[in-house]
Structure 1
Amino acid sequence: MTYWIKFFGLSLALLIILLGCGPNNTPSTSPNTSPKIPSPVPQSITITAVGDFLMHMPVIKSAQLDDGSYDFKPIFTEVKTLLSSADLTIANLETRLAGKEMGYSGYPVFNCPEELALNMKELGIDVVATANNHSLDRGWVGITKTLDHLESAGLQVLGTYRNAEDAQRVFITKIKGINIGIMNYTENTNGIPLPEGREYAVNLLQSDKILKDIGQLRSSGADIIIAYLHFGTEYQRQPNEYQRKVAEELFVQGVDIILGDHVHVIQPMDLNYHSNASQDERKFVAYSLGNFISNQSWRYSNCGLIANMELVKESEKVTLKKVDYVPVWVDTYQSNGQKKYRVLPVQKAIKDFETKKDPLLTELDYKTMQQVWQDTTTLITDACPAISPRNINEASKI
C-alpha cells in the first residue's frame, strides 16, 4: 500500500512539473496573475514649416516653358528632401491662383500660374496657409479659384473659405496617433474690404474667432495647436509689441506653436516654458520665417528658414521635444539668357562651393551666403540659445 501511495505521489509531481513549464522551460502564468501589458512605444513626428511663397513676376517668368506652361519644381530641387521628409509640412502662399484669364502679376496685386499648386504638392508640402494681406488681391473669384486649384492638387488649405460652413470648421489631422490642430489668420488685407455678405472669406486676426477655434480644436481632441499668423511690421528684424502681445495671449489660451510670416525678413524664435493650469508646458514661437522664394534680393530679404519641430507622444501626453532650423537663400543665375532662381540650404551650399561641387555658385554668392549664415544664426542664438541650426551632415542626408 505504501508503495502505491509513493508511486502516485511521484507521478502527480511529475505531471505538475510538465504542465507548469513550456518547451523553453518558461514558467506558465499563474491563473491569479494578469499578464503584464507592455507600455506603448513613444511616437515621434516632425512638423516642418517655411515662410512666404512670394511669387513676383520675375520668378514666374523664370518658370515658363517653351510651350507656355509653367514648371516651378527646378526652383526647389535643392530643398525638396528637407520638406518631403517631414511628417507634415506647412507653407504660406502669398499670391493668388486665380487663373490665366485674370492675368498673371506680382506686386502689388498678385496672381500666379496654377501649376504652382501641383508643384507645391510634389515638393512635399501638405498644408497651405492662404490668409494673408494678399488674400483679396483678385477679389472673391480669386479666393474660390485659388481654393479650387490647391485642393485639386491634393493640398489642405487654411485661412480662406467658400462659405460660412467651411469657415466655422477647424482643421485637425492625425499623424501616428498625434492629433494636430492648425489655425491661420492675417492681421490685414491691405485695406481691401471683405466681400459684402461673405465676411467669412478670410480669417482675420480677431480674438473672438481665435478663441472659438481654440475651444473647438481642444474639444475635437487636438493634442497640439499650431497658429500660423500673418503679422508684424514689414522688414523689421525684431517682433513689434503687437506680435509679442498676441503670442503671449495665444499661449495663455492654449496654443502650443506659433509660426509667423509677412515681414519678409527673418525674426527671432523663442522656445520656452509657459505656465498653464499650474503645469509648465513648452511653447515655441517663430515670429517670422522670412521669404522662402521671392525676387527680393537685398540683405535680410533674400533668405528664410525651414523650421523643424519634433513632437513626442508618450503615456497619452504630447510634448515638444526639439526645434531646429535650416537657413535657406535664394540664388539667381543665368541659363540660356534667362534669369533663373533656386532655393539653397545655406550651410550645404557653402560647403558645395568650397568643394567645387556647385559650378553655378560664384565668389560673390559665397560671400553673400556667409553673410546670410552669420546674420541668421546670430539673430536666433541671441534670442534663444537653446535653438540651433540643423547640422549640415544631418541636413544633407534628409
Structure 2
Amino acid sequence: MTSRSSRRALRFLLAPVVLVAAVTGCGFMGGSDGSASRSGGRSFTVAAAGDILIHPQLIDQARVDAKETGRGVDGLDFGPLMAGIKPVISKADLAICHMEPVIGKPDGPFESYPDFLVPPQIAGAVKDVGYDTCSTASNHSLDHGYAGVKRTLDTLDAAGLRHTGSFRTQKDSFTPLIMDVKGVKVAQISFAFGFNAHGLPRGKPWLVNQNDLGRIRAAENRAREAGAEVVILSIHWGREHRPNPTIPQLEFARRLARETGIDLVIGHHGHVVQPMEKVDGTWIAYGLGNHVARHAVPTGLTEEGVIGWFTFTERGGRWDVEARYEPTLVEIPPDTGVTADGTPVEPGKDQVEDYRLVDVAAELERDGLSDQERSRLRLAFERTQGTMLNRGAAKDGLKPLTELPG
C-alpha cells in the first residue's frame, strides 16, 4: 500500500472514533434514549438530510475504496464515503434520507444528469450509517419510467429501508407509511413539484406523488385515519442553487402550516442549504442542501449540506418540536491531472485526497488538520449557520446541534 493509501485507510479507521467522541459530548442528544422526556411526555428524535445524488466521480471513489476495504459489492463500496455522518444519523430514533435518483443494476450501466441511474450499492451504505426510511418523490423519479421506479423501490426494500413518494401499485400509493418510533406512530409522506421532461405514464397517475395542497391534505388524512400521531412531509420544491426560498415556496409553506395538521416539513431540490423557519408553530426546513453529490461545476455551496435534528415531545396532548441543525460537507479532492509525460500528479500535502461526507463540527475536532482544511470547514459551518438563521429562526430556538469548536 502506498503512503497515500496508508493515510487514507488510517483516516477512515480513526474517523468514527473521533466523531463518536464529538457527538456523545453534545448536550442536545442527551435524554433521547427513553420513551419519556423530563417533562413526562413521550419524546423521540428525527434526523433528516438533503439530496443523495451519485455522480460519476463518487462511483469512481467507491471503486477505489472497494479495492482498499475489500468490502465492496461488485467492486463498489460507498461505506467510506458515507461513514463521517454515522455517529449523528445512528443516534436518531428515526432517520430520514432523500433518495433523489433512480437506482440501476449492480454492474451498471450508470448514468448522470439529465437521467440519473446510480449503483444500488449506495442503498446498503445509506442503511449502514443508520437511515430508516427514504423519500423517493423527486424531479428525477421518472428518469427511467415505471421500471426505474420499481427497481429503486425493490433495491431499498432489499437494503431494509422504508420508502414513500413513489409506488409500484395504486394500492401502495394509498397505503400510508407509518412507523413505530419509540411507541409513537409516525407517518412520512413525500411529494415533488414535477418530473422534468417526463410525464406520469398513462394509466399510472399514482406512480409518484406530485405537489398539490389537496393531495397532500388527503395523504395526511389517510395517515391519521390509519393511526398516525405525527405526520412528516418530505417535499421537493423551489429553485436550484438559490440559498433563499422562492416566493411560491414561502406561500406554500404558509398554506401547509395553516391548512394541514402536518407536524414537520422537510424540503429538498435546491442543492444548496436554505433556511429553517417556524410558521404558525410548524417547523419548515426549506432545503437541506446536498447530502452527498459532486456536481460538474462545484460551487462551494453545492458541497455544503445540513442534517436537521428535531426532538418531538408530547405536551398537553400536542407535539412540541425543537429544531437543531448539524452542518455537513462533501470534501472534494483537487483535479490533479497528469504532467506532460503522462505521470499522475499527486495532491499537495494540504489537500484532501478522497471524496468524503463529513460532519463539520466533528471533523474540526480531528487532529492533524491543515490550516487550509480548517478554514474550509469553518467556512462551511459559519455559512450554513448564517443561512439557517436568516429568516429569524433563532427567536424560535433554532441552534446548532453541536457548537462550532473554538
Range of TM-score over shorter length: 0.7 to 0.9
CA deviation string 1:90-148 (max 9, x = no partner): 01112111215761122221111111111111110011111101101122111111111
1:155 pairs, out of 129, 153, 161, with: 161
Shift of 1:364: 2.7
How far 1:258 sits from its partner (Å)? 0.5
Determine if contact 1:230/1:260 at 8 Å carries over to the other structure. Answer: yes
Deviates more, 1:204-213 or 1:79-88: 204-213
Residue of structure 2 equivalent to 1:298: 299
Matched to 2:354, the amino acid is: K
In structure 2, the gaps of 5 or more residues are 1-38, 337-343, 348-352
Q: Does 1:341 align with 2:355?
A: yes
Q: Which has the larger radius of gyration?
A: 1
Given the two structures, how large is their TM-score scaled by the length of structure 2? Answer: 0.79
Give the corresponding residue for 1:256: 263
User: After superposition, what is the alpha-carbon deviation per residue over 1:248-294, rounded to whole angstroms, capped at 9, x for unaligned?
Assistant: 1111211121000101001110125x2xxxxxxx3100000000111
Contact persistence 2:108–2:119 (CA under 8 A): no
Distance 1:351 1:100, change over 3 A: closer
**Residue equivalent to 1:49:** 48
Given candidates 378, 381, 387, the residue that maps to 1:373 is 381
Separation in structure 1 between the aligned mates of residue 41 and residue 382 of structure 2, nearest angstrom: 36
Aligned to 2:253: 247
Shift of 1:365: 2.6
Letter in 1 for 2:357: V
- CA distance, structure 1, for counterparts of residue 243 and residue 40 of structure 2: 41
**Which residue identity lines up with residue 116 of structure 1 in the other structure?**
I
What TM-score comes out, normalization by structure 1 length? 0.80
Letter in 2 for 1:330: V
SS at match of 1:78: coil
Q: 8 Å contact 1:94–1:132 — kept in the other structure?
A: yes
Identity level (%): 27
Q: What do the CA deviations read for 1:147-172 (whole angstroms, capped 9, x no partner)?
A: 11100111101111111110111111
Aligned: 1:128 with 2:134: yes
Partners of 2:102 and 2:370 lie apart in 1 by 34
Matches within 5 A, 1:55-74: 55-64=54-63, 65-66=66-67, 68-74=74-80
Aligned residues: 341
How far off its partner does 1:208 sit? 2.8
Take 2:372 and 2:62, find their aligned partners in 1: how far apart are those partners? 24
Q: Please say which of residues 76-85 and 335-344 is displaced more in the overlay.
A: 335-344
**What's 1:331 paired with?**
331
Alignment-derived partner of residue 12 in structure 2: none
> What per-residue deviation string (whole Å, max 9, x for no partner) do you get for residues 283-310 of structure 1?
1000000001111332211110011100
Q: Secondary structure at the match of 1:201?
A: coil
Equivalent in 269, 274, 279 of residue 276 of structure 2: 269
Give the AA of the match of 2:380.
V
1:389 aligns with 2:396: no
The 3-state SS of whatever aligns with 1:184 is: strand
| 1:114 has 2:120 as partner | yes
Q: CA deviation at 1:88?
A: 0.3
Structure with the higher strand share, 1 or 2:
1
Tell me if 1:216 matches 2:222.
yes
